[in-house]
Amino acid sequence: MQASQANKKTGRAATLGLGLALLGAALFAIVLLSMATGARPIPIDMVWSALVSYDPNSTEHRIIWDLRLPRTVVGVLVGAALGLAGAVLQGATRNPLADPSILGINSGAALFVVIGVSAFGITQLNLYVWLAFAGAGIAMLVVYAVASLGREGATPIKLALAGAAMTAVMQAIISAVLLTSPRTLDEVRFWQVGSLAGRSMEIALQVSPFILIGAALALASARLLDGLSMGDDVARSLGQRIGLSRGLAGLASVILAGSAVAAAGPIAFVGLTVPHVARAITGPGYRWILPYSMLMAPILLLGADVIGRIIAPPGEVQVGIVTAFIGAPFFIALVRRRKLATL
């Protein structure tokens, strides 16, 4: 009996490992497609040639290295960060609606960046990152504090409502600042809707250390999230310190979401949809949900970016708008479900 269970467990682990390998291959394919797609289509073989044997005299090679490769690398980093942040938040709060955009984390990060640009003239990304961290952390604390009021504490529905209310307030403040400061509006107008366009390799290099730190914290918290997702009593019975576990998860989410917002603006719904799809494939264990989310989210984000480049030529639709069209119906379907409290 025990041997049979061990074989089943080993077989499932092998299957899920194969799934990760397939997702890695899919991510590689969408990366090549991202670099081939644009106002000037470039054949895949030319993309590969540019990557392995760069020719500075080739216009196509320069387009790929100067424009599309940095944009794609930023998309991979931001997608992975949002996917992990959403999965961590859903596990730590036991809330299937948890997502950096829905809980106000993205809006908090965006608000602090907009205020920094408007009030202090900040335009450097290295300062954007710290402003985004501060805004994300404060927003998360305020939303959790508001949702915790009352005897029932921070239930999933109260967290979603508090997050929606805080997001509305912060978006109103952002709109007021942008309407009264044309300079700030010009500085952040494309960034504010969520965009990968015009991103440089310098941006990727500046945010990658923070995203790597956040990803390491998130992946290291898999066992803690398994306990938290089953309820505080179960987690305590397993010897977990609830406050410390949630603090670690919150720190990982703030670092990941803050870095993503600083690099590409507040992109919504990626962190909401991807963990649910990952959970449907892997089951409830965060040992697998987290790496699946980390690979699936950049596939979704880059796919949305490619769609945005081909549906309105010769211009493009910003990726934040495309992900909103994809994620909004998914969010509505989740809200309509009755079993919101279970994951």
Any idea where the domains of the chain sit in the sequence? Answer: 69-336
Write out the two tokens for 295. 């690979």
69-336, superfamily in CATH? Answer: ABC transporter involved in vitamin B12 uptake, BtuC (1.10.3470.10)
Separation of alpha carbons 114 and 160, rounded Å: 24
CA geometry: angle at 110 spanning 105 and 114, to 5°?
A: 155
Class of residue 58 by CB neighbours under 10 A (exposed 0-12, middle 13-18, buried 19+): middle
Helix 44-52 with 2-36: angle, nearest 10 deg: 100
End-to-end CA distance of the chain: 29
Residue 281: the pLDDT is: 92
DSSP reduced 3-state for 168: helix
Residue 102 CA to residue 91 CA, distance in Å, equals 15
The whole-number pLDDT of residue 341 equals 42
b/e for 117-144, b at 16 or more Cβ within 10 A?
A: bbeeebeebeebbbbbbbbbbbbbebbb
Instruction: Give 126's Cβ-side CA count (13 Å radius).
Output: 3
For 38, residues 6+ apart whose C-beta sits below 8 A from its C-beta are 63, 67, 68, 309
pLDDT for residue 342? 46
CA distance 105 to 259: 11
Under 8 Å between Cβ of 105 and 268: no
Spatial CB neighbours of 270, under 8 Å, sequence gap ≥ 6: 79, 82, 83, 86, 297, 300, 301, 323, 327
Q: Are 116 and 128 in contact (CB under 8 A)?
A: yes
Judge residue 33's burial from the number of C-beta atoms within 10 Å of its C-beta, 0-12 exposed, 13-18 middle, 19 or more buried: middle
**Cα gap 104→80, rounded to integer Å:** 19
Q: Is the pTM here over 0.85, yes or no?
A: yes
- pLDDT value for 118: 87
pLDDT number for residue 338? 46
The pLDDT, as a whole number, for residue 96 is: 80
Name the stretches of the chain with pLDDT < 70: 1-8, 125, 152-156, 190, 334-343
Per-residue pLDDT tens for 260-312? 988 888 898 899 899 999 998 998 899 999 999 999 999 999 999 999 999 87
pLDDT at 265: 86
Q: What is the DSSP string of 87-123?
A: HHHHHHHT-TT--TTTTTHHHHHHHHHHHHHHHH---
Q: What is the pLDDT of residue 133?
A: 86
